[in-house]
Amino acid sequence: MKGIGIDTGGTCTDAVIYDFETGQVLSEAKTLTTHHDLKIGITEVLRKLPAALLRECEQAALSTTLATNACVENLGGKGKIIFLGVSRKVFMDTWRSYGFRSLDDILLVDCRILPDPAASEEPDWEALRERLPAFLTDCDCVSIVQLFAADHGGAYELKVQELIREYPQFQDIPVILGNTLFADLNAIRRGAGALLNARLVPVVCAFMAAIRDVFTSMELDVPITIIRSDGSQMSEAYAVERPVETLLCGPAASVIGACTLSDTPNAIVVDMGGTTTDIAIVKNRVVKRAETGIQVGDWKTFVKGLYVDTFGLGGDTRIYYDRGGKIHLGKTRVQPLCTLAAEYPQVMEKLKKLDDSDRLNVCPLHEFFILLKDIEGDETGHFYQSEKALCRALKKGPLSYEEACAAMEKDIYTADFSRLESARAILRCGLTPTDFMHIRGDFTSFSTEASLHAAAFFVRSSEAETVEALAQKAYDLVTERLYKNLVRILLTTECTPLSKNPFDAQMDELINYAWQLAGTAGSRNKSFLPRIFETRARLVGVGAPTHIFLPRVAKMLRTQAVLPEHASVANAVGAVTGQVTAVTEVSLRPVSGEDFGNVIVVSRDHRRTFSSRTKALSFARKEGRRIAADQAQKQGARGALEIREEVIRNDAPMGYGMIWLGDTLRFTASGSTLR
């Protein structure tokens, strides 16, 4: 059986055809991501795969940055949320810290909700019914979150859903119940994830419709799954209800792909892409998880995912000089000049002319700008007329730094492009590690000549003495940032106290000194200190540029670099090889007061009281296995399931010994989407 794996990343869209029986990648392809219309890039990358093999595939799996980008850039549909029982004062004191941006999207319903349903006081349903039409106007999707939802089985959430459905105009609005998304206690944080989910529903629905159009046009009639934040798969139908679970699914797919391709039990997975580098930890073949929930931008959610540490470093990271000529590695993405010149031949001519002129300047005259978003019709008053003028000029094609300044009627020393760049209206194009890979011959798919012309101007204007020295400096800067971040991650994941507090200046100095020692060959190291940091985990590199930089960093950490075949398309491999995994928890807790000795069991579907812990535990195990299996099947699992059980005890010390405060039973059901 064969499957298609597709990953739409920030820079490239990758695709593979994978043979499940042999565990081999039969074919791979890569193309640039077309952000304005993802269908174009996906169609192009699929057409690069052998048509005969495509017709043999029986499923497809996706990994996408769509939800993450929408979250970070505050995009998406018009989502709204209704809170039931949440303290108005507590909410108003904390709402911004969870990522909420507008009170217009939020309806707080006052009522007294306690863990015991019998002691709770229901909302004024009639008053709420009257408020709904005005609140839900122009709404694409609404989520509902109540306090102590698990104890109540989400009863109040269901009631609100019924009220909404009474109105004919709201029959087609998706209504998502918060208790079906998250079971965690903090209702405000649950609400942040639920509102984000509501905003993402139309985004992912449109994306899936576009993918279906691509598959239909190519006569590919196969089921489609999407990778979740924890690296497992979910069905197309499940994904359009819970798009929030695709947050950071790209890095998660990368980790699964790295584990599949390398078969390394103890590993630090290093995925260097065009924009960022993602780091994950694997111990004894188990990937470290982010148990407290994912945070993306300002949004704090309870979405459970893999632990992934992301920092700005990739093949497209900007390399620039300041006005004193010092060379720096930035943290933002720019388009490499080698790829820009390959697409626009006039860029090559302008760079050659700049090189031939023997000019030098404190301003980056070798850089260009391209248009990402048309702001001509913007009526918010946010953009200046000079900025709109630049965007109009860019509609005709890329402009050099000087040409862009002229379009804004600014001189080259005072022109400011930062507002347009922050708004993602324009994109800067400049020298990057990818350009220096071309110069050094490590990667030559685009225009090496353009990179060389730009580098020659860069050398004249900076502290670099030759183009070769500049290329080495660029490689050193990338290696240094990679080494220092790996050390930081190892310290925070292996040393618990350090994980709770941000690094101070002294810790930064220690890591910097460790970098200097690690880069000093044996006989030249005159310090009494050896290399300070090392690891027994192997560094598994995936992503296109990783093979160039990782072996040197591994040597500094006294370990080995593992660079598996097909590493450059690991995300697509991870997408297609991921399994369905569903996790549910059932809690047991003792009853106090008159009913002392009884035990309450709370699951997704039930709240029941038993006369003994033994009876409660028996019911909890049956209930947990049933819910986990049901959830896995809804996510797309077919056939036999493997269900694992974990018991988390909660005991507290007393004067006479330990007292039992309760148990949490965690059930994990795993299966395949294949028949």
Instruction: Please name the residue ranges forming H helices in 357-440.
Output: 385-394, 401-407, 418-422, 433-440
pLDDT tens across 311-359, in order?
Answer: 889 999 999 999 999 999 998 899 999 999 999 999 999 999 999 999 9
Q: Quick one: 612 exposed, middle or buried, by C-beta within 10 A (0-12, 13-18, 19+)? A: exposed
Cα 636 from Cα 444, distance rounded (Å): 41
pLDDT over 90 at 84, yes or no: yes
pTM (two decimals): 0.81
Q: Quick one: 53 exposed, middle or buried, by C-beta within 10 A (0-12, 13-18, 19+)? A: middle
Lookup result for tokens 């470093």: 313
Lookup result for tokens 């931008």: 297
pLDDT band at 380 (very low <50, low <70, confident <90, very high): low
Q: Give the CA distances from residue 635 to residues 349, 643, 670, in Å, rounded to whole numbers and listed in that order.
A: 53, 15, 10
Among the ranges given (263-267, 504-508, 518-522, 668-672), the one the predictor scored with the smallest mean pLDDT: 518-522
Q: Give the CA distances from residue 648 to residues 179, 605, 641, 651, in Å, rounded to whole numbers and listed in that order.
A: 21, 20, 22, 10
Q: For position 467, what pLDDT does the model report?
A: 98
Q: For position 595, what pLDDT does the model report?
A: 65
- Return the HEC string of 478-528: HHHHHHHHHHHHHHHHHCHHHHCCCCCHHHHHHHHHHHHHHCCCHHHCCCC
Q: For position 522, what pLDDT does the model report?
A: 47
Q: Buried b vs exposed e over 435-468: b needs ≥16 C-beta within 10 Å?
A: bbbbbbeebeebbbebbbbbbbbbbebbebeebe
Average pLDDT value for residue range 461-466: 97
| Alpha carbon 207 to its chain's center | 17
Residues in the chain: 675
Element (H, E) at 600: strand 599-602
pLDDT over 90 at 86, yes or no: yes
pLDDT over 70 at 133, yes or no: yes
pLDDT tens across 56-81, in order?
Answer: 999 999 998 878 877 766 778 899 99
Mean pLDDT of the chain: 91
* CB-CB contact of 318 with 332 (8 Å): yes
* CB-CB contact of 306 with 251 (8 Å): yes
Q: For position 286, what pLDDT does the model report?
A: 87
pLDDT over 50 at 240, yes or no: yes
Q: Give the CA distances from residue 17 to residues 39, 207, 236, 453, in Å, rounded to whole numbers and listed in that order.
A: 19, 21, 20, 39
**1 vs 376, which has greater pLDDT?**
1
**Cα 89–Cα 93–Cα 99 angle in degrees, nearest 5:** 125
Name residues whose C-beta falls within 8 Å of residue 104's C-beta, 6 or more positions apart in sequence: none
Average pLDDT value for residue range 102-118: 93
3-state secondary structure of 10: coil
Q: What is the share, in percent, of the chain residues with pLDDT greater than 70?
A: 98
pLDDT tens across 264-283, in order?
Answer: 999 999 999 888 888 999 99
User: At what angle are helices 448-461 and 467-494 packed, to 10 degrees?
Assistant: 90
Q: For position 221, what pLDDT does the model report?
A: 93
